[in-house]
Amino acid sequence: MNTQHKTDKSEVILTGDRATGPLHLGHYVGSLKQRVALQAHHEQTILVADMQGLTDNALHPQKVSSNILNVVADYLAVGIDPSATTICLQSQLPALAELTMYYSNLVTISRLERNPTVKSEIQNKGFERSIPAGFLTYPISQAADITGFNATLVPVGDDQLPMLEQTNEIVRKINALAGRNVLNECQPLLSKAPRLPSTDGKNKMSKSMGNTINLGASEKEITAAVKSMYTDPHHVRIEDPGKIEGNVVFTYLDAFHSDESYVQQLKQHYQRGGLGDGVTKRILEECLQEMLRPIRQKRAVYLNDKAQLIDILKAGSQVSREKTDKVLFDIKDIFGLNIF
């Protein structure tokens, strides 16, 4: 799949986030920044995926329900503008659940079991053989989300590439059944940091792994997270040459520092020797503190007015219901079910 996509024409953009926790730096650099940049020129919808959040949290659903408005506040705090981007709630769009049912007949269990992202999530969550059916099939529900808006472009992290492959397989089957192009194939839009690692460098930063630096993190939390960051364990004395690969401080500087040539100079200095981890961490900390301070402040203001957040979600869900109902009608037509 071509992951480099030019966005010089008007695209239909659909993307979203599971309501399983507040959003973090991985979301910011992996997808949110692109959404902010794209919203003025394209038709963009962002979906708060509460139903998908339940696929591994149904026995403690408050984890999902209590995070819906947090996620909306995060969107607004980073600059998503509800007058330019539609923000909607997945569970308010029944057409998506119906589409999931129709598409389920086009996907085999073995295909679902081969999805590499789902496979590693099953392992991380320790499901073994007790995998909720909803969890195994969430790529189908995600295909329903994307095609429900007939999206052409999906700004995501690289863990989502298998979901987009799955979506396009379904699109091709539907179009073949219809004998014409009813649904668009979608393209992923990856950022320069498509998989931000956690501070220990071991995993992808993820809400469900509890290894995040949240967009609403306090100054103290940011300081502690940077202090604990994994660097080069063999870079013991300042004068020792250091390694950049796998050094989380440099991964984050690449992702978040605005001055690329300065970061390049730091890297060369570090590799030569003579640059201590204390200094690189201080530079990164300053950069993160500066970036997150206004986001944290705005987020707190938005969370103080929950009624406004609910109004935004309600309005966006209403607009989205009309769009997704229309796609559902077209899909039911293909199966010959619009008989009255």
Q: Which residues bind ligand ATP (CB under 6 A)?
A: 17-18, 20, 26-27, 30-31, 156-157, 159-160, 194-196, 204-208
Nearer to ligand ATP, 38 or 328 (CB): 38
- How far is Cα 250 from Cα 86, in angstroms, rounded to an integer? 35
Position closest to ligand ATP via CB: 30
- How far is Cα 13 from Cα 152, in angstroms, rounded to an integer? 6
- How far is Cα 303 from Cα 309, in angstroms, rounded to an integer? 8
Closest contact distance (angstroms) between CB of 122 and ligand ATP is 12
Nearer to ligand ATP, 193 or 331 (CB): 193
Closest contact distance (angstroms) between CB of 334 and ligand ATP is 29
* Parallel/antiparallel/unpaired status of strands 187-189 and 153-155: parallel
- How far is Cα 33 from Cα 15, in angstroms, rounded to an integer? 13
Assign 79 to helix, strand or coil. coil
Assign 328 to helix, strand or coil. helix
Distance from the Cα of residue 224 to its chain's centroid: 25
Nearer to ligand ATP, 112 or 328 (CB): 112
Token pair 């979901």: residue:
163
Nearer to ligand ATP, 118 or 309 (CB): 118
Closest contact distance (angstroms) between CB of 95 and ligand ATP is 21
Single-letter amino acid, residue 92: Q
Closest contact distance (angstroms) between CB of 71 and ligand ATP is 8
Nearer to ligand ATP, 160 or 280 (CB): 160
Nearer to ligand ATP, 11 or 17 (CB): 17
- How far is Cα 48 from Cα 65, in angstroms, rounded to an integer? 11
Closest contact distance (angstroms) between CB of 118 and ligand ATP is 11
DSSP state of 12: E
Closest contact distance (angstroms) between CB of 253 and ligand ATP is 16
Nearer to ligand ATP, 175 or 208 (CB): 208
Closest contact distance (angstroms) between CB of 49 and ligand ATP is 7
Closest contact distance (angstroms) between CB of 180 and ligand ATP is 30
Q: Which helix (H) or strand (E) holds 308?
A: helix 306-334
Single-letter amino acid, residue 197: P
Please, which contacts does 234-242 make with residues 24 or more away whose CB atoms are closer than 8 Å?
235/270, 235/277, 238/273, 238/274, 238/275, 238/276, 239/273, 239/274, 240/273, 241/270, 241/271, 241/272, 241/273, 242/270, 242/271, 242/273, 242/275, 242/277
Nearer to ligand ATP, 204 or 235 (CB): 204
